Amino acid sequence: MPEGLRRIDETRIEVPKGYTEGMHVGGIIYVDVELEAFLEEGAVRQVANVATLPGIVKRSLAMPDIHTGYGFAIGGVAAFDTDGGIISPGGVGYDINCGVRLLRSDLTRAEVLPRMRDIVARLYNEVPSGVGSKGKLRLTREDERLILLKGARWAVEQGYGTSEDIERTESGGTMDGADPSLVSDRAFERGRAQQGTLGSGNHFLEIQYVAEIYDEKAAGILGLFPDQLTVMIHSGSRGLGHQVCTDYLEVMERAAGKYGITLPDKELACAPLSSPEGRDYFSAMKAAANYAWANRQCIMHWTIEAIAKVLHASPEELGLRLVYDVAHNIAKIEEHVVDGDKKRLIVHRKGATRAFAPGHPELPDVYRELGQPVLIPGDMGRASFVLTGTAKAMEETFGSTCHGAGRVMSRHQAIRQAKGRAIWREMEDAGIIVMSAGKRTLAEEMSEAYKDVSNVVDVVHRAGISKKVAKLRPLGVIKG
């Protein structure tokens, strides 16, 4: 453990106020003794640095998948008072609304295994992936403007899904208040050909099966059963979101000086939420988030079509439908209880998942009594998890939990480690068919490059900030 930290209990470490000069509050990192070995001093410093920003409430937080990021640690959560607090692109990240959606089916693993190679090949051909990949859609400037305004609703209006999909998407697949006029021409250009594409890096399309059920009642509400075929989609706002972040980091660097905000790290560039710069970024961020929800909606539509074609059946006959869609990199205005009083806060989740408790008014009716479904993707060789949100998450983490496994190697380190190995062959030997736009991506994303997601999920489960429902293991993987 880095010097100066204190273990609170088996799942939490305290970053005391004073760890970094100027901290307004302390920090909490959710990590057990086993994962503590991967705790980077730089990431801890970032948790402390966030605690120096104006208007921060309660504490600066990080989840067990924490690792060093741009400004905020990845796995970081911080909430700021809407009255006097800030908004920071570094607290959202470059891939705005990178997120995950899960599909369920009526199929079992045994029924699809003989056709798995065909399914993976069809999906690889039907869903564009890789750096700079271009989608099937040919968008006009007006099409793209409507996507930025409407998000997943735009895709459904075009016939790429149903109204049920909107109900089962966080925020209904749209953040109100998006303003496409605040998105640069360069961002529009980068996004025009990329709607409906996976992209590269850790993004994936994965055919999975339900390997274990931990909570039968919750699994039943979600439509999950043992040995069932599921599909997970992990993608975000592509080049458009990256450009929005790039554009506004320059704006925020100037704004921080203008408003007299002292930054321990220039990557924490920010502006008061109430300032013109803060409002503009928030509106542009919402537009990029909407692009990402439309993106995952389109990918899901083509995924369902591809599987149905291979299996010569209709989507209805296969029972293919959306379980839920969650955002990972986003800032949202939410109401939370602070010192006994309800307050409107802007909650930054960077590599963290919302985990609202049962009964929360923002949850769809179908899951209101269950709590928010939480989707945690692992690396391509291990497993992913379905959890639900809890009351304790509302009390401790502004209704937040982890978002994945968390890297332990840089991409360059992973490539060096994989030299001389055939990762795709190792995957096939483990019973997982993988297709990728390049061998480099497979090396960057190999299992050893990540913490074991099972350990990460166990920490948040034991801490009580989300509750395990099911484990999903991969059968086939499409990587960018």
Neighbours of 361 (CB within 10 A): 7
User: Residue 385, Cβ neighbours under 10 Å: how many?
Assistant: 26
Q: How many Å apart are CA 138 and CA 158, to the nearest integer? A: 13
Least-confidence region, from 289-303, 306-320, 437-451, 463-477: 437-451
Q: What is the pLDDT of residues 237-287, one digit of tens each?
A: 999 999 999 999 999 999 999 999 999 999 999 999 999 999 999 999 999
Helix (H, G, I), strand (E, B) or coil at 275: coil
Torsion sign over Cα 65, 69, 72, 288: negative
The pairing of strands 433-436 and 466-479 is parallel
1, part of any domain:
no
Residue bearing the bigger pLDDT, 421 or 474: 474
Three-class DSSP category at 201: coil
pLDDT confidence bin for 6, thresholds 50/70/90: very high
Q: What is the pLDDT of residues 207-220, one digit of tens each?
A: 999 999 999 999 99
Residue 303 lies in a domain: yes
Tens digits of residue pLDDT in 7-65: 999 999 999 999 999 999 999 999 999 999 999 999 999 999 999 999 999 999 999 99
Q: Known catalytic residue: 403?
A: yes
Into how many domains does the chain fold? 1
Write out pLDDT tens, residues 398-427.
999 999 988 877 888 888 887 878 887 888
Our CA angle for 88, 398, 341, nearest 5°, is: 105
Provide mean pLDDT across the span 138-159.
96
Find the catalytic residue in 328, 348, 403, 461.
403
CB 411 within 8 A of CB 448: no
Triad 286, 126, 319: Cα angle to 5°: 80
The pLDDT value given to residue 131: 63
Domain that holds residue 426: 6-479
CATH assignment of the domain containing 64:
3.90.1860.10
Q: Is the pLDDT of residue 133 over 70?
A: no
Residue 28 resides in a domain = yes
Q: If residue 455 lies in a helix (H) or strand (E), which one and from where to where?
A: helix 453-463
Residues 57, 343 contacting (CB under 8 angstroms): yes
